[in-house]
Structure 1
Amino acid sequence: MALAQEDIEQIQDLIKKVMAQAPEAVNANVRYELEVRERVIRVEEELKHQRELMSEGFRQMEKRFEQVDKRFEQVDKRFEQMHQEILGVHQEIRQLIRWSFGTLLAIGGLIVAVLRLVA
């Protein structure tokens, strides 16, 4: 079964068509791969940017927490100072009450003594 010249030419044409179509498929795959790689690179860059933003946000929150901590320490010191002042005033009031009571007893005793002498 020998092939006629027409058959050979037809086979050659088909092979040329297939060979001509193959680079387009390869080029399409290469283009698709390049697009996918570019997308992956963009996603990685965006993730890196988001990570940097989150890190900066965490740093700022840490600074803010430190400031709030310092403020709480200042308020705590102020409360301690006020507590000491209140204790001082309390001591003064107790002393004043003692002196007043002692003075009252002394005056009362003097009045009783004067009344006994006079009567």
Structure 2
Amino acid sequence: MSKTEIEQFVLKLMESRLQQVVEEYISRNDGRIKELALVERVVRVEEELKSLREMSELRFDASEKRFDVLQKTMNERFEALLREMNARFEALQREMDARFKAVDKRFESVDKRFDAMDKRFTTLQWMIGVVVGIPALVIAIAQVIQLLK
């Protein structure tokens, strides 16, 4: 036998023996390999869950900040609206006060006219009383004098 034949024979023998040894090793350690694969998967899942939790927290924080900004903006708008409404109500109140004062002045002028008319009627009543009373008195005196005669 030549050296190449020996090498080929040794190679074939080693391949077959190595294949058997590897198969035995794999069959013995198949459970461990599956366990290691499961442990590795569990670790990856846990890392992924941790990453998801961190991302969720970041998103919730961003949402909370956005809601805070919106809340501040809405509060500022409501305060501006309240100031504007108060200014309008105050202007409306001033306008109504001015109108009421004008109405009060008109009523005062009407009261003065009624007072003047009341004085005229009182004067007229006295004049009518005097105009009717004096002739009635004269007639009554004249009749008394005629009766006495």
Q: Are 1:50 and 2:67 counterparts?
A: yes
Deviates more, 1:18-27 or 1:69-78: 18-27
Amino acid at match of 1:50: F
The alignment covers a number of residue pairs equal to: 113
Pick the aligned partner of 1:64 from 81, 90, 103: 81
- What TM-score do the two structures reach when normalised by structure 1? 0.71
Number of the residue aligned with 1:3: none
- The residue correspondences of 1:29-108 to structure 2 (distance < 5 A) are 29-107=46-124
CA distance in 2, matches of 1:113, 1:96: 25
Q: Which runs of 5+ in 1 are unaligned?
A: 1-6
Structure 2 vs 1, CA of residues 8 and 100 (structure 1 numbering), >3 Å: closer, same or farther?
Answer: same
Kindly provide the amino acid, as one letter, of the partner of residue 43 in structure 2. Answer: V
* Distance in 1, Cα, partners of 2:42 & 2:128: 126
Q: Does residue 28 of structure 1 match 2:31?
A: no
1:75 aligned counterpart, secondary structure: helix
Larger radius of gyration: 2
Distance 1:82 1:108 in 2: 38
